[in-house]
Structure 1
Amino acid sequence: MQIQLSDHFTYGRLLRFVLPSILTLFFTTIYSIVDGVFVSNFVGKTAFAAVNFIMPILMVLASFGVMMGSGGSALVAKLLGEQNKIKANQVFSMIVYTMFMFGIIASITISFFMENIVSFLGADGELLTQATRYGRIAVLGGTAFIFQHIFYCFLIVAEKPKLSFIITVTAGITNVLLDIIFIVILKWGISGAAFATVIGQMVGGFVPLVFFLLPNKTSLRLVKPCLDGSALLKTSTNGISELVSNIAMSVVSMLYNYQLIKFAGDTGVAAYGTIMYTSYIFSTFYMGYSFGRAPIVSYHYGADNTDELKNLFKKDLVIVIFAGILLTAISEILAYPIAHIFASYDPNLFEMIHRGIYIYSFAYLLMGINYAGSSFFTALNNGLISAIISFLRTFAFEIIAVLTLPILFRLDGIWASGVVAEIASFAVTVVCIVALRKKYGYY
């Protein structure tokens, strides 16, 4: 029996509903990492560092899709909870068409200035050449990359998270197969990795576009939009925390790369890329869970069902605390094999990755509470509080940590920066949850 947003959620029902969302993000992350694995093992360390150097730039572009997807889905789910289906579809359509135009303009602009951007971020020599080549090709999939994040959120609102999972797996398989053809067989090097990524993103971004353009049995379909400035503003403010979070993560990643070039050269940048790949995989549970249950919170908030909000809030706490303990333990256990997968050919890089993962693993203990707390306020259409938590967590606290800790602890200080940022963010999240509990009635 299909689970609906209006249902009462037990632990089992909640986990069944969010599982496709978690798996979707997991496989999205896996096929994003595939380029790194193939490039590292078949092209070389400098090319691998170049891919990692470009990734934060691409994530800045994708972050606008995350903002409009998370913020828009919260608004649309709230409208559906208020039984206003016509308005919900108009707002949904306006968001999609607006971001289509934005994606094209942004991709062309970034491609034109790619070499200047990479040079400004500190790359030179062969790293500059490889990063520019990869970036100019990869950014061609910018619109599809944006759509992937938008439709990921709206397929959940449409009560089709399993379809999102199927599309993502298909896109991932496409990416892997093309990596084998372009990199291993045809020897296209870093350019092959970029083309494989773009084509995979097109599968992930444009297939759901076709689904929503055609007649379907869900509550959402692309219709003739009406320009609604207030709805667009509300969408943006709802999702501003996700925009802040993703852009901040990208900016911070650039700062990490800058610091690592000083302390460990190209090897440090390559090691950081692997540690971040691992972090992306482990954090997909928190992100997938948060995105998956957000429309449920928005729906019941729109329906003024405070009993279900209390139910969801309590289950949030239990699930993310248990997950934090489990993921930290798993990360510690897998530190060695992960380092072996990426760097068995280079003992220095291997050791750097192994130690970095071991230190960073402790961030997972509190990461889930911080993710879920920010997402909960987005779902309640309180973008300001969500943005404050995200901004402090992914930008302010982490920048302070990555600039100061290496002075005392050198490379270990860089790996520990994420842990310190999560601890500080946890304190902020708890304060916000306690301060607003009576306003929303979730506790």
Structure 2
Amino acid sequence: MNRDYILGKEKISKALMKLSIPATIAMLVNAIYNIVDTMFIGRGVGSLGIAGLTIYLPIQIIILSFGLLIGVGTGSIVSRKLGSKDLESASIASGNLFLTIGLFGIITSILGLIFAENIVKLFGATGEVIPYATNYARAMFPGVLVFPLCVASNNLIRAEGNAKDAMNSMIIGMIANIFLDYLFIYVFKIGISGAGIATSISKGLSFLYVFYYFLKKSSIKIKPKYLKLNKDILKEMLSIGSSAFTVQISMSIVTLILNYSLYRYGGNEAISVYGIVYKLTLFIQMPLSGLIQGMQPLVGFNLGCKNISRIKETIKINLIISTLISAILTALILLTPELVVKLFTTDKVLIKESSKVLKIIIMMYPILGIYMTAVGFYQSIGKGKESLVLSLLRQIIFFIPLSLVLPSTFNLGILGIWIAFPISDFLSSLCSLLFAKWQYKKMFIPYVNKTQAS
């Protein structure tokens, strides 16, 4: 693949598809990772197993968020440095990523194994769900040694324009996860622990492919001299990656609050319902995330080349495609809610309730691409503050207050929690659109004039 030609000269629609399709497939694979565990646990362990899995979800999101914090920030730096032909700086930034993520993985894995039960209790495990959540967490924490590193490294791979290799690493893990889930749950009868062991091993196999890529295929050089913390690079990567980090952390906070609120208004069954519904919403969110990931190296590279017209065209096309994708996928799920829910459980009550909740939660998903594109754009041009503000809108500023106020103040009970989802999606998408228009004259036009004058 000619990286410079694809990022800098090829027709935008073709370049976006070449970068986005593998990234989208990779994100769908990531969704399948989560869904496969839920399917096997739901059918092989039961609803309490799904509840235990849902309790671990915010923990997994926190771990993922750190990988994205470093990965998105470094990916933005690397794509811009490659655009300006500065391979040395790109390699230094990458070295900082590997060192930082490696230390995080080691520390988190050790602490997680020691304090697994205390952690799941902190995140909402109660009563008979505690042993399920604890056993799953203990099986998952060894995988933390490599999971955040895979997440962060895939951002580097995409920053080089090699989205197919990022996709391949995840496909390898997904295929292994499906096979190992069946083996550990149904053949070895290990139960929910088996699902966690299967996922940890699968992440390890994904990491082996990532290691091979940087050893044999990458233009970025990982040498001992680059494995030194650089204050300026760390500051920039943290600033840029903070919005992606905030999105994930806010999801974790939301899930933590939800675990308590759902138990209060609907018991463990409500937690199981959300566990199923959340996994199904990934089928819409992940393709949009893949499209954004395909967009970002295009924007970052052309910012480095000062090619503003390509940036504007990239954003326009991305908005159109993301809206179409989200509308089509939402419509498909709305037409067959019970059919997709049955993948996870045979419990008729759980199927009926999950189907109803699913239709409520994804009501505003057709416009979600507007919000996600705005956040991704500001990340890719290195505007950490703007992307951070937008990242806070959906989960922190809108959803949390709504989910707390609607059930009690308006006496809606658990229905108030469910309708808080579409309301916050609508408000965050609307605000991100207004914010982009307001910021255009303030930020983008002066930048265009400056680059054109130079």
**Other-structure match for 2:219:** 219
**Other-structure match for 2:43:** 41
Match of 2:439 among 407, 430, 436: 436
Give the Å deviation of 1:368.
1.1
**Other-structure match for 2:427:** 424
Give the Å deviation of 1:2.
4.8
Cα 1:334–1:219 change in 2 (3 A) is farther
**Other-structure match for 2:118:** 116
One-letter amino acid matched to 1:31: Y
- Residue 239 of structure 1 contacts residue 383 of structure 1 at CA under 8 Å; is this kept in 2? yes
Matches within 5 A, 1:142-291: 142-212=144-214, 214-216=215-217, 218-223=218-223, 224-225=225-226, 226-291=228-293
Encode CA deviations 1:314-362: one digit per residue, 9 max, x unaligned.
1122112222321221220231111222222x12111111001111121
Encode CA deviations 1:409-428: one digit per residue, 9 max, x unaligned.
32322222221111111232
**Other-structure match for 1:369:** 370
One-letter amino acid matched to 1:87: S
Matches within 5 A, 1:47-126: 47-126=49-128
- Residue 291 of structure 2 contacts residue 318 of structure 2 at CA under 8 Å; is this kept in 1? no
Encode CA deviations 1:4-29: one digit per residue, 9 max, x unaligned.
22224332331232100000010111
- Point out 4+ residue stretches in structure 1 off by more than 4 angstroms: none
Between the two proteins, the alignment pairs up a number of residues equal to 440
Give the Å deviation of 1:113.
2.4
Q: Distance in 2 between matches of 1:256 and 1:227?
A: 37
- Residue 67 of structure 2 contacts residue 151 of structure 2 at CA under 8 Å; is this kept in 1? yes
Q: Distance in 2 between matches of 1:206 and 1:251?
A: 32
Q: Distance in 2 between matches of 1:244 and 1:9?
A: 33
- Residue 58 of structure 1 contacts residue 139 of structure 1 at CA under 8 Å; is this kept in 2? no
Encode CA deviations 1:163-190: one digit per residue, 9 max, x unaligned.
2212211110101111111001110001
- Residue 32 of structure 1 contacts residue 197 of structure 1 at CA under 8 Å; is this kept in 2? no
Q: Distance in 2 between matches of 1:9 and 1:27?
A: 27
User: Taking structure 1 as the reference length, what is the TM-score of the superposition?
Assistant: 0.95
- Residue 56 of structure 2 contacts residue 123 of structure 2 at CA under 8 Å; is this kept in 1? no
**Other-structure match for 1:134:** 136
Give the Å deviation of 1:399.
0.4
Q: Distance in 2 between matches of 1:313 and 1:278?
A: 27
Q: Distance in 2 between matches of 1:122 and 1:227?
A: 36
- Residue 263 of structure 2 contacts residue 270 of structure 2 at CA under 8 Å; is this kept in 1? yes
- Residue 385 of structure 1 contacts residue 432 of structure 1 at CA under 8 Å; is this kept in 2? no
Encode CA deviations 1:22-73: one digit per residue, 9 max, x unaligned.
0001011102221111111011111121011112111101110011111110
Q: Distance in 2 between matches of 1:334 and 1:143?
A: 39
Encode CA deviations 1:342-387: one digit per residue, 9 max, x unaligned.
222x121111110011111213122111111101000010011101
Q: Distance in 2 between matches of 1:359 and 1:236?
A: 35
One-letter amino acid matched to 2:339: P
Q: Distance in 1 between matches of 2:247 and 2:395?
A: 6
- Residue 23 of structure 1 contacts residue 288 of structure 1 at CA under 8 Å; is this kept in 2? yes
**Other-structure match for 1:414:** 417
Please state whether the residue corresponding to 1:221 is helix, strand or coil. Answer: coil
Give the Å deviation of 1:263.
1.6
**Other-structure match for 1:396:** 397
One-letter amino acid matched to 1:440: F
- Residues 1:356 and 2:360 aligned together: no
More deviation, 395-404/373-382: 395-404
Gaps of 5+ in 2: 449-454
